[in-house]
Amino acid sequence: MATLELDGLRKSFGATPVLRQIDLSLNDGEMLVIVGASGCGKSTLLRLVAGLETPTAGRIVIAGRDVTDLDPSERDIAMVFQNYALYPHMSVFDNMAYGLRIRGLSRGEIARKVEDAAALLGLQDLLVRKPRQLSGGQRQRVAMGRAIVRDPKLFLFDEPLSNLDAKLRVQMRAEIRKLQRRLGVTSLYVTHDQVEAMTLGDRLLILHEGTPAQLATPMEVFEHPADTYVAGFVGSPTMNFLPGRLVRDGTAVQLDAGPLVPLQGRRAGDLVTLGIRPEHLTLGGDGLEITIDLIEPLGSETLLHGRVSGRTTETITVKIAGAAMPAETETVTVSVQADQAHVFDAATGKRIDPQHGGSA
């Protein structure tokens, strides 16, 4: 087990910067999930830690040892890829044992380590099979087993569930989290899936164009997003954004679309963007008029997508419970749950802190 420190890490490909200044520290046994849009640099960050790429600047420190210039084989890490990277001609046992043989362990020790990992992952009855005889979930377990037998200081996961179907992803997500907690291995996990990020991570690192947008626990990111990028990225459906201006000494937002939304506590600033998640809008009341364009019934809940009346560019999504719904093209009124509203500076996009009257 080990800590991980990234100090001023930067990476450019030619004149193009990919990572612009990454400073973070992981505690022993912590799982950090890295999320962001495609091209934001999350896989590059993982490859830098793994030693598969060389940083342009900065240091990588694992368990107190500077490994920035060391080969991957000298870093005592294990990586799990999205494509499993199994040897097709080898059995499950041999795939899991390969790295141990390279390190020169005895046959008895290799057998013990492989059998212990197989028992942990439910692979005991599959050790003689070849990868082609396994399901996707079983192959991913083998890839994880190959990492576990090495007793690494650090686990690196590069979108390991992206090739699995939806039901299997849910199952494997739970298994990975239970396994990581049981083993207590410090881990970096890259994903584009928000549900994976929220459920797996002790903390989330949200990357935006190679720069950390926010580093916090999943619930802190969800409830107190640092800016409009984070607020719009985390949550499904995405947060609604409505332009307005602060009035009544900063205790309310007058939306451009019409309604006045009272705020919890005084907030500084002038022109603002009000953020409200779809589940915090309710039908009825004295609020926004919405023309429904699309209805998505999901069984236990329904999503209403529409446009704010009189505002051709502002779309909005409302999540309501159950299957009861208005007709498409119908105009309805929705009310904002004021205590769930987020306020951002319209110019910078930064969150306005309700307690301190300034940017968080």
Say whether 238-359 and 4-228 share the same fold: no
Average pLDDT, the chain: 88
Torsion of CA 264, 199, 180, 136, to 10 degrees: -170
**Alpha-carbon span 58 to 44, nearest angstrom:** 14
Average pLDDT estimate for 117-143: 90
pLDDT for 356 equals: 44
pLDDT for 136 equals: 85
pLDDT at 325 over 80: no
Reported confidence tier of residue 317, pLDDT bands at 50, 70, 90 = very high
pLDDT tens-digit map of 78-98 = 988 878 788 999 999 999 999
* Residues of the chain above pLDDT 90, percent: 48
Higher pLDDT, residue 315 or 312: 315
Per the CATH hierarchy, to which homologous superfamily does domain 4-228 belong? P-loop containing nucleotide triphosphate hydrolases (3.40.50.300)
pLDDT at 154 over 90: yes
Reported confidence tier of residue 276, pLDDT bands at 50, 70, 90 = very high
Average pLDDT estimate for 35-47: 91
Vertex 302: Cα angle to 278 and 195 (nearest 5): 60
Reported confidence tier of residue 38, pLDDT bands at 50, 70, 90 = confident
Average pLDDT estimate for 134-142: 88
pLDDT for 354 equals: 62
Does 238-359 carry CATH code 2.30.30.90? no
Q: For the chain, which residues make up each domain, given as ranges?
A: 4-228, 238-359
pLDDT for 131 equals: 92
Average pLDDT estimate for 321-346: 82
Contact 145, 96 (CB under 8 A): yes
Residue 213, helix vs strand vs coil:
strand
CA-closest candidate to residue 78, choices 184, 183, 156: 156
Q: Dihedral of CA 42/48/54/55: which sign?
A: positive
pLDDT at 212 over 90: yes
pLDDT for 359 equals: 47
pLDDT at 360 over 70: no
Higher pLDDT, residue 186 or 258: 186
